[in-house]
Amino acid sequence: MTISKQSKKRRLVPPHVESLEAYKPGKPPDELKKELGLERIINLASNENSLGAPKSVAKAIAEGVANLQSYPESGGLTLRAALAERYRVKVENVAIGSGSESILANIIRAFLHDDDEVLTTEGTFIGFYVLVNAKGIKMVKVPLKDYGFDLEAISAAINERTKLIYLCNPNNPTGTIFRRKEFEKFMSLVPEHVLVVLDEAYYEFAFKEPSYPDSMTYRLDNVLTLRTFSKAYGMAGLRLGYGFGHDRLIDFINRIKLPFEPNILAHHAGMAALQDRDFLLKTIKMNEEGMAYLTTELDRLGLRRIPSYANFIMIEMGSQEKAMRLFNGVMRRGIAIRPLPAFGLPTCLRMTIGTEEENRLLVRALEETLKAE
């Protein structure tokens, strides 16, 4: 039967899939370079680690290539045990996946059905919106408050169909955090049957802040923590993320998960990265220094920045037109930063903190663009 004949009788895809749009990647760097006549493009648009990946990881991958003919260890017990030891939990409390986004996808697939609703904020990680929409689940979004999660408004919006609440701390793309006190009050108001997904993709950049509520210090039965090797460990291209939660929740996630994700090289790489404390410390130091420098410089340029606890800074330009002018000017000078209409923040721009040189070039590009106006 052809698709067109079939579609007369039955829909090819459900309406919520019909209305989705495929992810639109940016132009490949080589194409952009040609178009703009540039020799080099610095990507400060994706919150990647400008230090690259740890050398220890490259070595582990090279060694792991000898095992490429084999499927990865089913259940990922070695890597899960290493994570369990590091975070002082049981192996049964640890999930791994091809990026934390894959674990998020499995959580959505495992727990949401029928008239369940999810609750979150406007202006948070777009990947979450996409996954929920792809499943056709109703999503309620509360407005941001001062560019951060309004936990009071979120708790007030819980209804009898609310099944899952997504929080992101620090929040992408705003960089803000909610504090221990706010989180504790919030959790006291969330019914136990409501799952809270706490996305801590940028945890390593925030944990030093004393008021930051590291979800692993609470061990709440209805909280699932998500973390990643993509950011602080510089391994975004490998796709390796992990999560923690109550045994029962992790068991359901494992039932849904593709049995052999993440791939075997990611397993090797994760084990090596966990041992590489020096790389992590170097990343955190680079970020702290970059944050201090960019904070001072953005203030000097009169750009309105939102205080950030992550490896990026968001600025508020006041209008989409101004934001796009600055974005285009910086792009023409060889630096990609992130406009945020898809996140629901069209008047803002997000820039990743890079190496000292990248940060200097970013400031120069911002300054030149502003002066040219």
Residue with tokens 């791994």: 96
Closest CA to 173 of 352, 303, 350: 350
- Select the residue interacting with ligand PLP from 49, 50, 162, 172 (CB under 6 A): 172
Question: Does 169 sit near ligand PLP (CB under 6 A)?
Answer: no
Provide the edge-to-edge strand list for the sheet that holds 312-316. 304-306, 312-316, 348-352, 338-339
Task: List C-alpha distances in Å: 114 to 24, 127, 131, 219.
Answer: 29, 21, 15, 29
Strands 162-168 and 195-199: parallel
Residue nearest to ligand PLP (CB): 99
User: Both tokens of residue 263?
Assistant: 């791939």
- For the bound state, the minimum distance from the C-beta of residue 69 to ligand PLP, rounded and expressed in Å, comes to 27
Residue range at the interface with ligand PLP (CB under 6 A); choices 15-23, 37-45, 97-105, 364-372: 97-105
- Scanning residues 103 to 162, which ones bind ligand PLP (CB under 6 A)? 125, 127
Q: In angstroms, rounded to a whole number, what is the distance separating the alpha carbons of residues 104 and 166?
A: 10
- Scanning residues 195 to 214, which ones bind ligand PLP (CB under 6 A)? 199, 201
- Select the residue interacting with ligand PLP from 54, 123, 241, 339 (CB under 6 A): 241
Question: Does 168 sit near ligand PLP (CB under 6 A)?
Answer: yes
x/- letters, 47..76, toward ligand PLP (CB under 6 A): x-----------------------------
Q: In angstroms, rounded to a whole number, what is the distance separating the alpha carbons of residues 83 and 226?
A: 12
C-beta of 129 vs 186, nearer to ligand PLP: 129
User: Both tokens of residue 181?
Assistant: 């006190």
- Residue 237 — left, alpha, or beta (φ > 0 → left; ψ -120 to 50 → alpha)? alpha
- For the bound state, the minimum distance from the C-beta of residue 127 to ligand PLP, rounded and expressed in Å, comes to 6
- For the bound state, the minimum distance from the C-beta of residue 163 to ligand PLP, rounded and expressed in Å, comes to 20
Q: Which residues bind ligand PLP (CB under 6 A)?
A: 47, 99-101, 125, 127, 168, 172, 199, 201, 228, 230, 236, 241
